Amino acid sequence: MNQEILCEVNNCKYWGSGNRCNAKSIYVVSQKGKTAQSSEETDCKTFVPRD
């Protein structure tokens, strides 16, 4: 399993050094319940704003 999850959302609670995601798991869904055809049609539900 790939343990390297990169993220550039620097205002996320799980964003870490080197653009690494520090969440224990991630949850990604397709927008509006549709079958996604591209990454633009997906959303990361793991995102939590930084305090």
Q: What is the distance between the alpha carbons of residues 29 and 46, in angstroms, rounded to a whole number?
A: 10
pLDDT at 2 over 80: no
Kindly give the pairing relationship between strand 20-21 and strand 42-44. unpaired
Q: Are 7 and 47 in contact (CB under 8 A)?
A: no
Domain boundaries, the chain: 1-51
CA 45 to chain centre: 7
Q: Does the pTM exceed 0.85?
A: no
Q: Are 11 and 48 in contact (CB under 8 A)?
A: no
Q: Per residue in 9-51, pLDDT tens?
A: 999 999 999 999 999 999 999 998 889 999 999 999 999 999 8
Residue-level pLDDT at 15 = 97
Residue-level pLDDT at 32 = 83
Residue-level pLDDT at 33 = 80
CA 36 to chain centre: 15
